[in-house]
Amino acid sequence: MKKITTISRFEVLKNRKEILKNPLPFHAKYFQEHGHTFRINLGKKNTWVFTKNPQTIKYILQKNHKNYQKSVLQTDDLGKYVGRGLLTSNGAFWRKHRRMIQPSFHKKKLVGLLDIMVESIQRELVELKPNIEQDILPMMGDMAFQVVAQSLFSASDLRKRMQKLKDITIENQQMLIKEMRLPYLKWWFQMTGEIRHHLKSSEEAKSILNTIIEERIDSGKEKDDLFDMLLGATYEDGTHMPRKQLIDEVLILFTAGHETTANALCFTLLLLAKHKELQERLYLEVHNVNFEKGNVMEQLSLLPYTKQCIEEAMRLYPPAYFFDRSSIEDDTIDDVAYKKDTVWLLSIYELHRHKDFWQQPEAFNPDRFASQNKRDFSDYYFPFGAGPRMCIGNNFAMYEMIIIIAILAKRYSFTTPLEKIEIDPLITLRPKKAVLKFIPR
Ligand code: HEM
């Protein structure tokens, strides 16, 4: 049996302040010093293994996925705020709901949502102020939230209530980050009632959703939107989802679907702002597109370069920059024995910049995803994960992002005063600032 390097608890504690602020430089340093897989021992039965080895990542996510489940952070900790559903469950419960919800996200079904997406994007873009420098992360967050909201509950005037839902989702996520980064203060958050306050907000969010759902069902109207698909979905025995479950799944779609998309959009726009010549090339592709007229799907198929820019931005800045899994049984990987309950941290950020797999990994080069150059990236490119728990909204997100980037690049050229794109690795990877100026063309 081989052994991997173990980093001591002392070493981690010594650097804890810096690690809590931004763990990525430490991951990079340890990978450089100790190879593609290393272990951190945090005390009795508390072992974390970090890897950027693509074979190991695929093995855990795909080949032997049955032995690896989401950790407590993604299930119990997140679940206490957003409920128990696709994103936050494991095992048979998860499988049952994945099977049920998956058909609603098939490409064929999504085609019916494209017009709704375009409409809500256009509506949100009215808010964009031209010719001034502004941090567009909040706006992209609003837009991504509204796109999910309108795709779920089309043709409803929900803006105000959605704003409240969005505020609650963001505040609860911030609380979760605090709990994650300051685990030794959990008792304090309990004592001061901070956690209780956020749990109450969650109940408020669920109650808002319940009212929306009730209004919708009472209206008796069929809308052919995502909510109708979820309402119509059945378990294997032909029964429908109970109301409580429906609410949890909807809240989870909001949580999973808005921040990741907003971050990817901001990174794409920032990178294009820093690469003027690529932005001009993008303009040549998008300047004739008009989503309001004609078939949206056909127009999307005419935008390969737009798609490549987004793919390349998600290589450099994957919004889901690491995945975690906890092993159910002992396992042996690459001749190394691992005990059950080992927590695995799969570093997608490091893998996407791994020099063994990417030429000039730090460069923004959308051409690597061009069909004529495209190698099979499926072994080392995982912006949406891999295996049975791969993102259910990946096609939804790609369509949405292509539409947004195409509309923006057609209407405006954009610049950024930022010298460097700085990152903020929280639950998702986001830019610290996404300051851009949009100049009408
Ligand atoms: C750029 C945008 C997005 C990115 C980068 C992204 C990324 C991911 C990743 C990496 C996972 C798997 C995590 C893991 O295996 O631990 C995931 C899961 C998930 N995503 Fe996304 N996502 C995006 C957009 C969306 C959208 C728009 C929706 C829904 C409208 C969505 C819904 C979900 C759900 C429900 C899961 C859990 C699936 C399951 O466990 O079965 N995501 N996402």
Please tell me if the CB atom of residue 260 comes closer than 6 angstroms to any atom of ligand 1.
yes
Residue from 71, 227, 245, 260 whose mutation best tests the ligand 1 pocket (most atoms within 8 A of CB): 260
Please tell me if the CB atom of residue 286 comes closer than 6 angstroms to any atom of ligand 1.
no
For the record, the structure tokens of 347 come out as 């570093």
For the record, the structure tokens of 342 come out as 């080992």
Please tell me if the CB atom of residue 253 comes closer than 6 angstroms to any atom of ligand 1.
yes
Strand 331-333 versus strand 133-135 pairing type: unpaired
Nearest alpha-carbon partner for 316 in 282, 360, 283: 360
Cα–Cα separations (whole angstroms), residue 277 to 35, 364, 402: 37, 12, 19
Amino acid sitting at position 158? L
CA of 107 to the centre of ligand 1 (A): 15
- The whole-angstrom separation of Cα 410 and Cα 92 is 46
**Residue 257 domain-assigned (yes or no):** no
Residue from 391, 401, 405 whose mutation best tests the ligand 1 pocket (most atoms within 8 A of CB): 391
**Residue 94 domain-assigned (yes or no):** no
Atom 22 of ligand 1, nearest CA residue: 391
**Residue 258 domain-assigned (yes or no):** no
**Residue 216 domain-assigned (yes or no):** no
Burial of residue 417 (CB within 10 Å: 0-12, 13-18, 19+) is exposed
CA of 320 to the centre of ligand 1 (A): 8
Please tell me if the CB atom of residue 383 comes closer than 6 angstroms to any atom of ligand 1.
yes
**Residue 68 domain-assigned (yes or no):** yes
Atom 26 of ligand 1, nearest CA residue: 257
pLDDT in tens, the chain (441 residues): 888 998 888 888 888 778 777 889 988 999 999 999 999 887 767 789 999 999 999 999 999 999 999 988 889 988 999 899 999 999 999 999 999 999 999 988 899 899 999 999 999 999 899 999 999 999 999 999 999 999 998 866 777 888 888 899 888 888 888 887 777 788 888 899 999 999 999 999 999 999 988 888 888 888 888 999 998 899 989 999 999 999 999 999 988 999 999 999 999 999 999 999 999 999 999 999 999 888 999 999 999 999 999 999 999 999 999 999 999 999 999 999 999 999 999 999 999 999 999 999 999 999 999 987 767 788 999 999 999 999 999 999 999 999 999 999 999 999 999 999 999 988 899 999 999 999 999
Provide the 3-class DSSP secondary structure of residue 96.
helix
Atom 6 of ligand 1, nearest CA residue: 384
Residues 6+ apart with CB under 8 A from 98: 86, 388, 389, 392
pTM of the complete model beyond 0.85: yes
- The whole-angstrom separation of Cα 401 and Cα 267 is 12
CA of 250 to the centre of ligand 1 (A): 13
For the record, the structure tokens of 424 come out as 């903020």
Q: Which numbered atom of ligand 1 lies nearest the CA of 144?
A: 27
Q: Which residues pair with 424 in a beta bridge?
A: 430
Please tell me if the CB atom of residue 319 comes closer than 6 angstroms to any atom of ligand 1.
yes
Provide the 3-class DSSP secondary structure of residue 415.
strand
CA of 3 to the centre of ligand 1 (A): 34
CA of 279 to the centre of ligand 1 (A): 28
- The whole-angstrom separation of Cα 288 and Cα 401 is 18
**Residue 3 domain-assigned (yes or no):** yes
* Number of independent structural domains in the chain: 1
CA of 256 to the centre of ligand 1 (A): 6
434 touches 405 (CB < 8 A): no
**Residue 74 domain-assigned (yes or no):** yes
Q: Which numbered atom of ligand 1 lies nearest the CA of 97?
A: 41
Tokens 């909201």 label which residue? 149
CB atoms within 10 A of CB 211: 11
| Residue 328 structural domain | 1-82+321-351
- The whole-angstrom separation of Cα 372 and Cα 383 is 21
Please tell me if the CB atom of residue 86 comes closer than 6 angstroms to any atom of ligand 1.
yes
Give the CATH number for residue 3: 3.30.43.20
Atom 1 of ligand 1, nearest CA residue: 261
**Residue 41 domain-assigned (yes or no):** yes
CB atoms within 10 A of CB 296: 21
Atom 9 of ligand 1, nearest CA residue: 384
Residue 75 DSSP label: I
Atom 18 of ligand 1, nearest CA residue: 391
305 touches 279 (CB < 8 A): no
CA of 260 to the centre of ligand 1 (A): 8
Cα–Cα separations (whole angstroms), residue 357 to 54, 264, 287, 345, 351: 10, 22, 34, 20, 8
